[in-house]
Amino acid sequence: PLFIPLAQSDMKDYKHLDIRNTVGNVPMEWYQDYPHIGYNLDGKKIFKPIRNKDELDEFLDKMENPDYWRTVHDKTTASDIRLTDEQVDLVHRLQKGQFGDVNFNEYEPSVDFFTNEVMIHPVTNRPQDKRSFIPSLIEKEKVSKLVHAIKMGWIKPRKPKETTPQYYDLWAKEDPNAILGRHKMHVPAPKMRLPGHEESYNPPPEYLLTEEERLVWEQQDAEDRKLPFLPQKHSCLRAVPAFSRFIHERFERCLDLYLCPRQRKMRVNVNPEDLIPKLPKPKDLQPFPTTMSLVYRGHTSLVRSISASPTGQWLVSGSDDFTVRFWEVNTGRCMKTLEVGGAVKSVAWNPNPAVCLVAVCFERTVLLLNPSLGDRLVVSSTDQLITAYEPPEEDKEQAVTWALSEGLEHNMGHRLTLTHPKAVKQVVWHGKGDYLSSVMPDNSSNLQVLIHQVSKRRTQNPFRKNKGLVQCVSFHPLRPYFFVATQRYVRVYNLIKQELTKKLMTNCKWISSMAIHPGGDNLICGSYDCRLAWFDLDLSTKPYKMLRHHKKALRGVAYHRNYPLFASGADDGSVIVCHGMVYNDLLQNPLIVPVKVLKGHQITHDLGVLDVTFHPTQPWVFSSGADTTIRLFT
Amino acid sequence: MSQLQTRFFTDNKKYSVDDVPFSIPAASEVQELSNVINKLLEAKNGSHSQIEFDFLVRGQFLRTSLSNHMEAEGISTEDVVEIEYVERFTAPQPEECMMHDDWISSVEADSEWILTGSYDKTARIWSLEGKAVMTVAGHTDVVKDVAWVRRDGLTSLLLTASLDQTILLWEWNSERNKLKARHCCRGHAGSVDTIATDPTRTKVTGEEEEVEEPPSRPRKKQKTEQLGLTRTPLMTLSGHNEAVSSVLWLDSEEICSASWDHTIRLWDAETGSVKTTLTGSKVFNHISYSPLCRRLASGSTDRHVRLWDPRSKDGSLVLLSLTSHSGWVTAVKWAPSHEHQLVSGSLDNLVKLWDTRSCKTPLYDVSAHEDKVLCVDWTDSRVRHQDNNTHLACINQQHTSSLY
């Protein structure tokens, strides 16, 4: 606004010069690099004046020129212009906010051309048109069209206005406990502890260490000390020496800052009791054996193996004192003692109630005994069964020799003697009672397991290859399967198809014992590394559950025939009874609850319980131990 | 010290005192009460000698102080307390020790003789003084149970049951000390573990009843007399799933049997059908029936002696549980002459004498045995003039049978 009147005044004063620039209102910087500054009315270049005024000249000009204050630099022409008095006045007026024109009177009286009052007479007296009284046909047509469109639903009535506000509080609905973003996770660096009285140069006497405390402090490890320094008393602040551990302490502080947690770990708040699976109380799972009731004494060396008769009236035990003893279960009376020629490794009562036979193995012999206990008819029919054997016409070479006992041995109860080529460790019966299997552990041969048929006096070796040191074998209670436990695996063979069906990985270092559930779909394995593995054969080849209840190596495991119970005996002298319920529903996994630890056996030569077996009908468990006793828990 | 209004009464006329209320210190115990009664009796009868009494408050023996007992039983101390007193049953003392060579499986005593069965395949007859009179040998296996059948003067009939699946009926003449095997009863498919004789022993045909421990279907058999040497069962009672451990006659029409299948069954002797089944939770080892109080006592493997009412129609109701043993209760026997007393033997080497009016603790523990107790029985002498006239024959594995 300042420029235009100047230009106008220029026109008046410098009409003759006429050096008006025609470039217009453009930034003059555009012509910085040119020698001219614009174009005049004739189209000729306006050259920049030769600038010879430096700062010093400027200063001198400012000091000496009395009109300096009214000199204005004109950028368009790059010339200095001295303002006239009128122009200075105009500037002053404008600066004061007054009108530029001196003669303009802003307070002239106003003339009211159109009154605001309503007159009685109209301004024009023209009568109203006729059409202003007649409804418009065009409008009517338009309205009816709209009405029709609305009726047909072509036009929607106006949508209600959205009530949601355009702006809303982003964090209004936010859970105050929720973690949103890093800033909430931020944990400020831990602050240094404020110095206490003991850090004073002149601490109160109670903070000073006595001589004893000082000795203790010096003997302690740096980490165990309550204070990282010794409080010391100085007479005045001047006497305090330089802090020798300053660098060290700073370094530790830096380490603290570096290592301190900077993020809040969101720990899930879980009640530890919720994590424990809901198991029924042992009280609700009765009956199971709880107390020791009877002790069967008589053996003079450790009792390796026990087996109960199918009626539950008798018990047979084999011991390292070269004897096999028969016990009456309900009184603990030893009914019979048989000397055999070696430490008895395993005994097994024939599970068939119509046959009265006990298999005993010692050294290289498997002996079939008729204990003559129980029903006379069964005893005599068993003897008949054995004597009724007729040798086949062609004699095949067999791995073992079958010999019928006669004379004195027959009177002692010996019936058949099977002499094996190697030492026999275990003997088991098939559920039907005609077949039995014997184990001769040997790492270097395929002759480790033999299956014998008593009625035909036949022996066969089911395996052609050696798959490792066989620990124990077992027959499937219902189907023609055969379980072979080597050191780390249990292999399940189909005896009819003669093929390997399954290989169970036990994750144990050395299997000691194995038992098959009477239903046949579950299996437990005890191992020398204190573990008991439960396999669900339908589920997986890996253990369904690993129980580590025993402190020492497991020696024997057993299932109960009717009750949902299983027991394990170990070198720590205890028998652990567990409730192991198997459901008919395939979707429901077995329920395993440890219910009772039965103690009673003394540990002798680091051996505790060597074998466990259940009573066939009652919820009672027998255990035999290295302390030469057999115990009954009911 | 508070006082209680008490009134003493007794059934025994010999020791009755006046029926007047006395004021007794509430803290007084049995000994003090006994002194009170003795003082009263002395005042009444100068020649009275000191006698120990036991006291019953509402049918329960007093074992603590009177106030404690009444608090425990919830009896009001405001009223006059009726206290019954009886002569104290003195502790049984071992009288005789009868040595056997082997374990004793069973004992049956009557008023003159004691019959024992042993694991050395014989049964023995002893006099009450503990003198071996006769050895009954004939079985080829362990004798499991013995029973007297009847006695006609000097001739007695006795039964022995054995593991060799037979029962032998013997006739024994006590004067000439002659023994004759009369019959051999066969029919069991397992060892015969228990026998019981009909209470009406006067019948011409000696009826005996026996039970087996066979594998599959235990049956009970009843035999009749035949002319031949071998007899066969009159009736077989089948129904138990497992071994039968004990049988007895309730009366001449009813038979009761206990089994390892956790049940006690009552049978009709005429038809051989099951009348009632009492179901327990543990194996029953032995049962005994008292015609005096009409209750059945059972000893089971869970260390309790339980009392049952065999007549109750509402199933298996345990009237009372006597708990003190720490091993299997192998034998129970009601006293033949006392309706509240029974004796129990256990594998924890103890014989306990119980009074059903004091069910918390036994009256006496008899701990003379050094090994398992397998069977117990009472003998009752003809005249009760001394307390220890009631003999208790009790057998254990220490090869002894002792008289108390």
Measure Cα distances from B122 to A546, B115, B135, B163, B168 in Å: 54, 11, 7, 12, 11
Residue B216's pLDDT band, with cuts at 50, 70 and 90, is very low
Burial of A106 (0-12, 13-18, 19+ CB in 10 A): exposed
B373 contacts B330 by C-beta, under 8 angstroms: yes
Task: Please compute the mean of the pLDDT values over residues B94-108 and round it to a whole number.
Answer: 74
For B142, the closest chain A residue by CA position comes to A335
Nearest-by-CA chain B residue for A374: B190
* CA A249/CA A243 separation, integer angstroms: 10
Q: Is the pLDDT of residue B396 over 60?
A: no
Question: Which of B342, B323, B329 minimizes the C-alpha distance to B372?
Answer: B329
Give me the count of residues in chain B: 404
Cβ contact B243–A312 (<8 Å): yes
Per-residue pLDDT reduced to its tens digit, B43-100: 777 777 777 777 777 777 777 777 777 777 777 777 777 777 777 766 666 666 777 7
CB–CB of B347 and A293 under 8 A?
yes
A287/B281 CB distance under 8 A: yes
What own/partner pairs with CB < 8 Å and gap ≥ 24 does A527-532 have?
A527/A553, A527/A554, A528/A553, A528/A554, A529/A553, A530/A554, A530/A570, A531/A507, A532/A557, A532/A568
pLDDT at B183 over 70: yes
- Measuring CA to CA, how many Å separate B379 from each of A188, B146, B185, B382, B394? 92, 15, 28, 10, 10
Dist. CA B123–CA B113, nearest whole Å: 13
Q: For residues B402 and A353, which has the higher predicted lDDT (pLDDT)?
A: A353
Residue labelled with tokens 């122009």: A87
- List C-alpha distances in Å: B296 to A110, B332, B336, B375: 135, 10, 13, 17
Taking the Cβ of residue B284 and every Cβ of chain A, the question of whether any pair is shorter than 8 Å is answered with no
**Whole-number pLDDT of residue B90:** 66
The pLDDT value recorded for residue A506 is: 85
Distances (CA, A) of B91 to B180, B192, B348, B352, B378: 40, 35, 20, 11, 15
Q: Does residue A480 sit at the B interface (CB-CB below 8 Å)?
A: no
Give the minimum alpha-carbon distance from A311 to chain B in angstroms, rounded to a whole number. 5
Token pair listed for A67? 């009109």
* Residue B232 φ/ψ, nearest 5 degrees: -115, 165
In this complex, do B328 and A312 lie within 8 Å of one another by their Cβ atoms? no
- Label residue B296 by pLDDT band (50, 70, 90): confident
Contact yes or no for A610/A305 (Cβ under 8 A): yes
**Which chain B residue's Cα is nearest to A314?**
B215
Min distance A502 CA to chain B CA atoms (Å): 36
> Is A297 within 8 Å of chain B by CB?
no
Cβ-defined contact of A312 to B191 (cutoff 8 Å): no
CB B25 within 8 A of CB B3: yes
CA distance B215 to chain A (A): 5
d(CA B116, CA A278): 55
Distances (CA, A) of B286 to A396, A470, A615, A618, B262: 56, 47, 20, 17, 12
| B337, B380 Cβ separation under 8 angstroms | yes
Percent of chain B beyond pLDDT 70? Answer: 79
Instruction: Tell me what pLDDT residue A251 has.
Output: 93
Estimate to the nearest angstrom the gap between the alpha carbon of A591 and the chain centroid.
23
Taking CA–CA distances from B166, the nearest residue in chain A reads: A376
List the single residue in B103, B190, B245 with the smallest CB-CB distance to A374. Answer: B190
pLDDT digits (tens, 9 = 90+) for B257-268: 888 888 888 888
Three-state SS letters, B190-214: CEEEEEEECCCCCCCCCCEEEEEEC
Please, what are the averages of pLDDT over each run of 10 residues along chain A (634 residues)?
Answer: 44 53 84 85 82 82 87 81 90 90 86 78 83 90 94 84 80 68 67 87 90 90 84 90 89 87 73 81 84 86 89 88 88 85 88 86 86 79 81 75 80 84 89 87 83 85 83 89 89 87 86 89 89 86 88 90 89 89 83 88 87 89 89 88
* Contact assessment for residue B228 and residue B169, using Cβ atoms and an 8 Å cutoff: no
Question: Are B245 and B283 within 8 A, CB to CB?
Answer: yes
Q: How many CB atoms lie within 10 A of CB A624?
A: 31
Alpha-carbon gap: B345 to the closest alpha carbon of chain A (Å): 13
Q: What pairing do the DSSP bridges indicate for beta strands B230-231 and B178-185?
A: parallel
| Residue B92 pLDDT | 67
B109 vs B401: CA distance, rounded Å: 12
| List of chain B residues whose C-beta atoms are within 8 Å of the C-beta of residue A286 | 281
Strands A292-296 and A472-475: unpaired
Q: Residue A3: its pLDDT value, please?
A: 44
**pLDDT reported for residue B194:** 77
* Residue B203 banded pLDDT, cuts 50, 70, 90: very low
- At residue B295, the 3 state secondary structure works out as strand
Residue B198 touches chain A, beta carbons under 8 Å: no
B32: helix, strand or coil: helix
CB contact under 8 A, A353 and B281: no
pLDDT at residue A605, as a whole number: 85
What's residue A181's pLDDT? Answer: 56
Contact B213, B244 (CB under 8 A): yes
- Residue A140 is predicted with a pLDDT of 94
Chain A CB within 8 Å of residue B328 CB? yes
The stretches of A359-516 forming alpha helices (DSSP H) are: 376-387, 408-412
Residue range B124-167, pLDDT digits in tens: 887 777 777 788 888 888 888 887 777 777 777 788 888 877 78
Minimum-distance CB partner of B214 among A293, A335, A375: A375
